[in-house]
Chain A
Amino acid sequence: MVEMVARPYERAFEKYALENPEVLCLSADLTSSCEIDKFRDKHPDQFLSLGMAEQNMLSFAGGLGLAGYRPFLHTFGVFLYRRPYDQLMASIAYPRRKVRLMGFLPGITTPGGMTHQAIEDISVMRSMPNMTILETGDATEVESICEAADSIDGPVYCRVLRGNVPRLFDTPIEVGKMRELSLGDDILIVTSGITTEEALRAKSALEGAGISIRHLHLNTIKPFDDQAMLDHIQSVKGGVITLENHVTEGGIGSLVAEIIADNGVGKKLVRLGLKDTYAHGGSRPYLMNFYGLDAIALVKGVERLTGEELNISEEDLTSARLEAVHSTVKAEGL
């Protein structure tokens, strides 16, 4: 069974910030929601409350960067770029300030509906010169995200998981290095963030149906090692399938499509994720199922790719996640 880790960010950030006095903890009125409330209470000198005023917070952070600090901005991912997009561009990305944008509740991991769901953040950040994008997919990656982010010579946007997070990996994030989770030769599956767990759930059923899976997990989305991906694409006999907690335009599906097209590779690509749609509010398992981001959606995607019916049911998908632990996560928790 998979180990569930409670609030990995809370401990990891405190440890990292205390070792690095130029790191500042900024919050925009979502302090406990981003697991930094204890840090605020214990280390007030390293904490700055900027209130519900993200436009100011982003430019202010640019000024802190100019003063030689490395501010970590904590709020929901969506609030780091939608309203303050101009400030993100002019005050942070253009001048390459060492601002660490810690975006919590990526994609449909929040029940907050459209206003709270960062479903196009990767697309936005990928098109922004000078921006680095990291995404966490398990507790070990959350535990190593602060150090990874702070190693970037410039701004970085991170999709951070909170609450009870499964531990899937035993090594920290190595920026720029994708994780090779299996190295089969029929189908290439590319996932990042929470969809990696879904692919792991589907893996044994797919292999049971006789499909050899090559599975890559991405924690660094920008900059990206095209050659490594190209080698994997060319290592499978069949096509490629991407599954992302994001719209299918501009995210990792597009990333893989660009590599296929740029290199003239004649392989089919199935991109799974939010299909040109907003989501609504609901629990994470419900939303993942409703919008086709879960393990069964991946199985159906593989059927589309291969043209074969695999006769795999939802019951056949082994759970990589302890449902009992999962259910303790409050659906209404914002």
Chain B
Amino acid sequence: MQNKKSTEDVAFGIRRRVFEHSMRNNGGYLSQACSAAEQLAWLYNEELNLGDPTLPMIPKPFGGVPSADNKDYHTGAGYNGPFEPDYDRLFIAPAHYALVAYATLIEVGRMAPEGLEMFNKDGSSVEMIGAEHSPGMEVHNGTLGIGLSTAAGLAWGRKKRGEKGKVWVYMSDGEVQEGQTWEAIQACAHHKIDNVKAIMDVNRQQCDGAMNSVMEVGDLAQKMEDFGAKVVWVDAHNLDEIRAAAKTPHRGKPLIILANSSPFRGMPSLQLRFPRLHYVRFKSERERAEMNKDIARSLGIDPIDYQKH
């Protein structure tokens, strides 16, 4: 079910859906769509070896948390296809990218557009911060820094069993401030876990603002190489660079692709909101209307008639 659309079209569709959704809801994770669109589009449309979805196109409502009594519990992993030995898995480590991830699922035909209408609605499984039961989410990653470790454990187990499926992690650069990220890289290197691959959205933004104003993290590539990873820098908006990076040999090491991204890509008027880009909530009707007009023009689409909603 891949390649019905070009990856460029998927990336455009992600930005458009997140823009439209954010306009209707007077805010959203707009900047993450700008920085991440090509990366998630490339993962789902080209790189990941996934089977067909096993869960309904229109997501089921929240079905309860895991417990001994909740026999029907399942995660959102089924949107990434069945958990079988040859298929890849994907963990979205920054769970607040959920809106962007859901838009991706829709663009690649793994979820119906109605799924996004359920976003952040009470009783819905399509949660604002992707939960384990949200579409396309496989494990809880809402606390930043735990995704790569979980992927490492799964990958070690899959390698021991001789399974071909790889474990991909979508990461954000802010989470390198968590010590666990470094623990995970060194553990991958020590145990030669090379069926883990990560692509990190290096947009240099975090909740409080620009990362260099919150906690400087230094030379990411050098530090990661020192901890034992194979690291490649790419332009996050250049698909050919991403494609080439994924082919980098990394025997005995995890591969981390550092995707140098722009938090305004495709929506340059978001620069007016710098450095508060984490969650863009419009401060006035005037700002909302201007953003609607300006971003639509940048994307080459019509503004949204959000008064209808």
- What is the interface of chain A, defined by CB distance below 8 A to chain B? 48-51, 53, 55-56, 58-69, 86-87, 90-91, 94-96, 129-130, 153-154
Q: Is the CB of A95 within 8 A of B151?
A: no
Given contacts A63-B153, A63-B157, are A53 and B187 in contact (CB under 8 A)?
yes
Q: Is the CB of B132 within 8 A of A94?
A: yes
Given contacts A51-B190, A87-B180, are A63 and B155 in contact (CB under 8 A)?
yes
Instruction: Name B153's closest neighbour in chain A (CB-CB).
Output: A63
The residues of B that contact A55 with a CB separation of less than 8 Å are: 145-146, 149, 179-180, 183
The distance in angstroms between the C-alpha atoms of A62 and B154, with both chains bound, is: 8
Query: How would residues 138 to 149 of chain B score, 1 for a CB under 8 Å from any chain A CB and 0 otherwise?
Result: 011111011001
- Interface: B152 (CB within 8 A): yes
Q: How far is the CB of A55 from chain B (nearest CB, A)?
A: 4
Given contacts A60-B149, A63-B155, A69-B157, are A51 and B186 in contact (CB under 8 A)?
yes
Q: Is the CB of B191 within 8 A of A96?
A: no
Q: Is the CB of B67 within 8 A of A130?
A: yes
Instruction: Name B91's closest neighbour in chain A (CB-CB).
Output: A63
- Interface: B65 (CB within 8 A): yes
Given contacts A86-B143, A87-B149, A154-B68, are A56 and B184 in contact (CB under 8 A)?
yes
Given contacts A90-B146, A91-B149, are A56 and B183 in contact (CB under 8 A)?
yes
Q: Is the CB of B153 within 8 A of A67?
A: yes
The distance in angstroms between the C-alpha atoms of A197 and B161, with both chains bound, is: 44
The distance in angstroms between the C-alpha atoms of A95 and B161, with both chains bound, is: 22
Q: Is the CB of A59 within 8 A of B157?
A: no
The distance in angstroms between the C-alpha atoms of A55 and B143, with both chains bound, is: 12
- Interface: B168 (CB within 8 A): no
> Per a CB cutoff under 8 Å, which of B68, B152, B179, B190 touches A130?
B68
Q: Is the CB of A94 within 8 A of B180?
A: no
> Per a CB cutoff under 8 Å, which of A51, A59, A65, A95 touches B149?
A59
The residues of A that contact B66 with a CB separation of less than 8 Å are: 94-96, 130
Among A50, A67, A69, A95, chain B packs the most CB atoms within 10 A around the CB of A67
Q: Is the CB of A50 within 8 A of B157?
A: no
Give the 9 A-B residue pairs with the shortest CB-CB distance, closest first.
A63-B153, A67-B157, A59-B149, A56-B183, A60-B153, A63-B154, A53-B183, A63-B150, A55-B180
Instruction: Name B131's closest neighbour in chain A (CB-CB).
Output: A94
Q: Is the CB of B156 within 8 A of A67?
A: yes
Query: How would residues 168 to 187 of chain B score, 1 for a CB under 8 Å from any chain A CB and 0 otherwise?
Result: 00000000000110011011
Q: Is the CB of B140 within 8 A of A91?
A: yes
Q: Is the CB of A91 within 8 A of B68?
A: no
The residues of A that contact B143 with a CB separation of less than 8 Å are: 86, 90
Among B65, B68, B150, B154, chain A packs the most CB atoms within 10 A around the CB of B150
The residues of A that contact B139 with a CB separation of less than 8 Å are: 62, 66, 91, 95
Instruction: Name A66's closest neighbour in chain B (CB-CB).
Output: B154
Among B75, B140, B180, chain A packs the most CB atoms within 10 A around the CB of B180
Q: Is the CB of A63 within 8 A of B140?
A: no
Q: Is the CB of B191 within 8 A of A62?
A: no
Q: Is the CB of B68 within 8 A of A153?
A: yes
Instruction: Provide 12 A-B residue pairs closer than 8 Å at the C-beta atoms, listed in order of the A residue.
Output: A51-B187, A55-B145, A60-B150, A60-B153, A60-B156, A87-B146, A90-B143, A95-B75, A95-B139, A130-B67, A153-B68, A154-B68
Given contacts A59-B150, A61-B153, A94-B132, are A67 and B184 in contact (CB under 8 A)?
no
Other A-B pairs, 4, CB within 8 Å; known A50-B187, A61-B153, A63-B152: A63-B150, A63-B151, A66-B150, A95-B66
- What is the interface of chain B, defined by CB distance below 8 A to chain A? 65-68, 75, 132, 139-143, 145-146, 149-158, 161, 179-180, 183-184, 186-187, 190-191
Q: Is the CB of A95 within 8 A of B132?
A: yes
The residues of B that contact A61 with a CB separation of less than 8 Å are: 153
The distance in angstroms between the C-alpha atoms of A91 and B143, with both chains bound, is: 10
Given contacts A94-B65, A94-B66, are A64 and B157 in contact (CB under 8 A)?
yes
Q: Is the CB of B146 within 8 A of A59?
A: yes
Q: How far is the CB of B83 from chain A (nearest CB, A)?
A: 8
Given contacts A87-B180, A90-B143, are A56 and B154 in contact (CB under 8 A)?
no
Q: Is the CB of A90 within 8 A of B142?
A: yes
Q: How far is the CB of A25 from chain B (nearest CB, A)?
A: 13
The residues of A that contact B179 with a CB separation of less than 8 Å are: 55
The distance in angstroms between the C-alpha atoms of A90 and B149, with both chains bound, is: 12
The residues of B that contact A87 with a CB separation of less than 8 Å are: 146, 149, 180
The distance in angstroms between the C-alpha atoms of A321 and B153, with both chains bound, is: 43
Given contacts A60-B187, A94-B132, A94-B140, are A67 and B67 in contact (CB under 8 A)?
no
The residues of B that contact A129 with a CB separation of less than 8 Å are: 65, 67
The distance in angstroms between the C-alpha atoms of A63 and B191, with both chains bound, is: 14
Q: How far is the CB of B302 from chain A (nearest CB, A)?
A: 42
The distance in angstroms between the C-alpha atoms of A59 and B180, with both chains bound, is: 9
The distance in angstroms between the C-alpha atoms of A76 and B257, with both chains bound, is: 36
The distance in angstroms between the C-alpha atoms of A286 and B149, with both chains bound, is: 41
The distance in angstroms between the C-alpha atoms of A98 and B13, with both chains bound, is: 40
The residues of A that contact B142 with a CB separation of less than 8 Å are: 90
The distance in angstroms between the C-alpha atoms of A53 and B68, with both chains bound, is: 30
Q: Is the CB of B140 within 8 A of A59?
A: no
The distance in angstroms between the C-alpha atoms of A153 and B183, with both chains bound, is: 29
Among A49, A56, A153, chain B packs the most CB atoms within 10 A around the CB of A56
The distance in angstroms between the C-alpha atoms of A49 and B75, with both chains bound, is: 29
Given contacts A51-B190, A60-B149, A94-B65, are A67 and B154 in contact (CB under 8 A)?
yes
Q: Is the CB of A64 within 8 A of B153?
A: yes
Q: Is the CB of B149 within 8 A of A63?
A: yes
The residues of A that contact B150 with a CB separation of less than 8 Å are: 59-60, 62-63, 66, 91
Instruction: Name B161's closest neighbour in chain A (CB-CB).
Output: A67
Q: How far is the CB of A62 from chain B (nearest CB, A)?
A: 5
The distance in angstroms between the C-alpha atoms of A95 and B157, with both chains bound, is: 17
The distance in angstroms between the C-alpha atoms of A49 and B157, with both chains bound, is: 14
Instruction: Name B179's closest neighbour in chain A (CB-CB).
Output: A55
Q: How far is the CB of A68 from chain B (nearest CB, A)?
A: 7
